[in-house]
Amino acid sequence: MRPFTVLTSAVVPLLAANIDTDQIIPSQYVNVQGNAALARALFANRREDPSFVLNDPRMSGRSILLAGPNFGCGSSREAAAWALDAGGFRAVVAASFNETFANNCAKNGMLALAVPAQVHTRLAAAVAADPEAALTIDLPGDRVTLAGTDIGFAPVVEPFVRDLLVRGMDELAYLLDHGDAIADYEARRRAPQGESA
Amino acid sequence: MATTLYDKLWSAHVVAQRPGHPAVLYVDLHLLHDGTYHRAFRMLDEQSLRVRDPARAVGTTDHCLPTRTSFTVARSGPAPAVDVVAGLVAACERHGIRVYGPDHEHQGIVHVIGPELGLVQPGMTVACADSHTTTLGAMGALPLAIGTTQVLHALATQCTLQRRAKTMLVSIEGTLRPGVCAKDVILALIARHGIDLGVGHAVEFGGAAVRAMSMEARLTLCNMGAEIGARAALVAPDDVTFEYLRGRPFAPSGAAFEAACVRWRGFVSDEGAIHDRVVRFDAGDVAPMVTFGTTPAMGVAVTGRVGDPADSATPEGQRELAAALDYMQLAPGRAVTSIAVGTVFIGSCTNSRLDDLRAAASVLRTGRVPANVRLLVVPGSQAVRRAAEREGIADIVRAAGGEWGVPGCSLCVAMNDEVARPGEFVASTSNRNFQGRQGPGTRTLLMSPVTAAASALAGRVADPRPCLERQHAGG
């Protein structure tokens, strides 16, 4: 997995509340293979609307999505994270996330960064005033800044997730490291009265 | 110390936990389906990993299985269903995992067959790559809704990394009025408390109304736990649970069953156990519910009217409802019973069990569906299909002018060649009314099986109670 270190990009604003994963990737595309197909599937139904933000040519090449509350709600389909990744996004900054969606992002080297309401309001206003403003997320340096403004804050990311992202590691290695503990647990459970299932 | 049901389930399955790290949590049962498996098996093969315990996994085909056509001819769309369905069967067989393909007697929607076969039992952890895994908490098991990467983790290590949730007790009191189903109760709860009520929490449903519910009604209730953002939904197991499990193919039998019941009885929140949050809800005045917007919270009694953005408490709420009504092309204040429906779908992991279909049939037997309305009834599993056909339910559906489908997710998820027409209103017993959920431009109205059946006969959203009362009066 690519390490996530310092990311700088203008943002794509998509601030409506409760953007669900059926919008991010409609179900008929969930099993498409390959990045090109996933990128085409990203917000496929929403893109039918010419005024949808991703149809704005100025948004092309941007790698940070600025979203509203409860982003990624609904279906747990990990393809929502894959489609955003394929579409060039490396981070979603939102007022809040669906937890499964945020977990799925982390497992694919993407940052799902929830920011406090007050910070979110200031970010959204600043981006509305200057859509070209570059947001820098410095994960190792614990700093998020918006160029040309005084907005700057420390991102709140669970240390375990932050560490994996910065090192470009996945959780599987961590779990495989627990092979002995898993075997011990299974042995305990096989003992009389231990089996609960 | 008095302990909650969630904490008992959690503690019993923690394999290891380092300070500041998520817990390594053991998965007793891993349910696989054809919706989201592909990348997990590919990564397993690429890394030359083996499935740690194939006996703890079971696969079924549901999401991509066509409802009407033979599955071998379903080749349209960006990811042909036939390849996806066949791919799961092949992957499971290659790794020695029990799998129920399209024609297997145990095949069905993953959240239907888990309880129905007795695979899901109280005290277990059950992982499945689907948000509606919350359903299975109705059995007193801890449901783990995971992503595809975690499918890989569970296959390779029989564990996933999990963070302990906060606990919430939703105590549902009162007696349900005639014509009111578990679906109505949960839609009313969501309308009252919003779609983020359960975020960060394992939600235990308790109270007199839940204790009085059948197993199937509890499964409906917990299914919609996903729609309040809950990490897990739970109901403490009791005699209703045990009697439901007795005699199921994978449940213990004989003396082992009686011993299991004794053990299972321990999986309840102790008297005096403290939940992080308690919500009380009176189900006694709930009426049949219908949604009119694009989240499950945008719902109202069937006798009510489409919501008005002007009544929203916050500017965000106003904008959200206005956008939803713009998508739905519904004017505020319009009576919901004036909405004409094009398709009626009775099925899905929410409402496709035998009780659901019996309830729908009790209404459908009283009339015929108008020629301009399509009624699609899809049993949740082969076992439900067989039982419903034996009881004459399939005949009632057909006599009313409806279609009787092949068990699967069908029109709930629209990834199986089954879609509604753009712009069409779909009266649906499924769980999500998101934009485009049942096909691009479709407009979903969520409701119970009896309300959907009454709406099918009326050709518009209809209150099921007059029909049910007439039958009751007529014996």
Q: Which two tokens stand for residue B46?
A: 């690429």
Contacts of A46 in chain B (CB under 8 A): 435
Q: CA of B330, closest CA in chain A: separation in Å?
A: 19
Mean pLDDT of A104-127: 97
Q: Which two tokens stand for residue B56?
A: 């703890």
Confidence class for position B79, pLDDT limits 50, 70, 90: low
The share of chain B scoring above pLDDT 70, in percent, equals: 97
Q: CA of A76, closest CA in chain B: separation in Å?
A: 5
CA distance B121 to B145: 17
Q: CA of A162, closest CA in chain B: separation in Å?
A: 11
Q: Which two tokens stand for residue B177?
A: 């009025």
Q: CA of A113, closest CA in chain B: separation in Å?
A: 16
Is residue B456's pLDDT more than 50? yes
Q: Which two tokens stand for residue B192?
A: 């009252």
Cα A77-A82-A85 angle, rounded to 5 deg: 145
- The verdict on a CB contact (< 8 Å) between B195 and A73 is yes
Q: CA of A196, closest CA in chain B: separation in Å?
A: 6
Mean pLDDT of A88-97: 98
Nearest to B20 among A32, A73, A160 (CB): A160
- The verdict on a CB contact (< 8 Å) between B434 and A22 is yes
Closest-CA residue of chain A to B147: A78
Contacts of A159 in chain B (CB under 8 A): 20
The model's pLDDT over B19-35, given as tens digits with 9 standing for 90+, comes to 999 999 999 999 999 99
Contacts of B16 in chain A (CB under 8 A): 178, 181
Is residue B474's pLDDT more than 70? no
Mean pLDDT of A123-131: 97
Nearest to A76 among B121, B130, B159 (CB): B130
**Site from A30, A110, A121, A164 to mutate, B interface, most B CB atoms within 10 angstroms:** A30
Nearest to B36 among A22, A69, A77 (CB): A77
Is residue B53's pLDDT more than 70? yes
Tell me, what's the pLDDT at B7?
98
- Half-sphere exposure of residue B333: CA atoms within 13 angstroms, side-chain side: 2
The model's pLDDT over B102-131, given as tens digits with 9 standing for 90+, comes to 989 999 999 999 999 999 999 999 999 999
- The verdict on a CB contact (< 8 Å) between A20 and B147 is no
Mean pLDDT of B239-259: 98
Question: Using an 8 Å Cβ cutoff, are B332 and B325 in contact?
Answer: yes
- For the ranges A26-35, A56-65, A121-130, A180-189, the lowest mean pLDDT is seen at A26-35
DSSP B437: T
**Site from A19, A25, A31, A46 to mutate, B interface, most B CB atoms within 10 angstroms:** A31
Nearest to B200 among A99, A179, A189 (CB): A99
Rounded to whole angstroms, what are the CA distances from B48 to A47, A108, B42, B44, B158? 39, 20, 10, 6, 16
Mean pLDDT of A79-95: 98
The model's pLDDT over B186-219, given as tens digits with 9 standing for 90+, comes to 999 999 999 999 999 999 999 999 999 999 999 9
Q: CA of A190, closest CA in chain B: separation in Å?
A: 12
Average pLDDT of chain B? Answer: 95
For the beta sheet containing B159-162, the strands, ordered from the edge strand earlier in sequence to the opposite edge, are B14-16, B23-26, B159-162
The model's pLDDT over B126-185, given as tens digits with 9 standing for 90+, comes to 999 999 999 999 999 999 999 999 999 999 999 999 999 999 999 999 999 999 999 999
C-alpha closest to that of B219 among B256, B194, B245, B247: B245
Nearest to B145 among A48, A79, A100 (CB): A100
Contacts of A31 in chain B (CB under 8 A): 35-36, 38, 64, 78-79, 84, 415
User: Does an H or E element contain A136, and which?
Assistant: strand A134-138
Question: Which position has the higher pLDDT, A197 or B320?
Answer: B320
Contacts of B147 in chain A (CB under 8 A): 76-78, 81, 100, 103-104, 107
CA distance B3 to B5: 7
Q: CA of B467, closest CA in chain A: separation in Å?
A: 34
- The verdict on a CB contact (< 8 Å) between A27 and B414 is yes
Nearest to A197 among B84, B124, B200 (CB): B124
CA distance A88 to B18: 34
Confidence class for position A192, pLDDT limits 50, 70, 90: low
Question: Using an 8 Å Cβ cutoff, are B348 and B111 in contact?
Answer: no
The set of residues, in sequence order, having a beta carbon less than 8 Å from that of B197 and lying 6+ positions away, is B168, B189, B190, B203, B228, B229, B230, B279
Residue B289: beta bridge partners? B301
Nearest to B437 among A22, A29, A160 (CB): A22
Contacts of B47 in chain A (CB under 8 A): 172
Is residue B75's pLDDT more than 60? no
The set of residues, in sequence order, having a beta carbon less than 8 Å from that of B242 and lying 6+ positions away, is B261, B264
Contacts of B15 in chain A (CB under 8 A): 178, 181-182, 185
Confidence class for position A194, pLDDT limits 50, 70, 90: very low
Confidence class for position A193, pLDDT limits 50, 70, 90: low
Q: CA of A193, closest CA in chain B: separation in Å?
A: 9
- The verdict on a CB contact (< 8 Å) between B36 and A79 is yes
Mean pLDDT of B413-420: 88
- The verdict on a CB contact (< 8 Å) between A70 and B24 is no
CA distance B375 to B399: 11
- The verdict on a CB contact (< 8 Å) between B159 and A178 is yes
Contacts of B24 in chain A (CB under 8 A): 175, 178, 181-182
Cβ-count burial A42-59 (b if 16+ within 10 Å, e if not): bbbbbeeeeeebbeeeeb
Q: CA of A127, closest CA in chain B: separation in Å?
A: 18
Confidence class for position A197, pLDDT limits 50, 70, 90: very low
Rounded to whole angstroms, what are the CA distances from B356 to B197, B351, B362, B374, B452? 26, 6, 10, 19, 11
Question: Using an 8 Å Cβ cutoff, are B245 and B228 in contact?
Answer: no
Q: Which two tokens stand for residue B392?
A: 């004459």
- The verdict on a CB contact (< 8 Å) between A178 and B195 is no
Confidence class for position B285, pLDDT limits 50, 70, 90: very high
- The verdict on a CB contact (< 8 Å) between A185 and B15 is yes
Contacts of B52 in chain A (CB under 8 A): 182
Mean pLDDT of B349-367: 98
Confidence class for position B9, pLDDT limits 50, 70, 90: very high
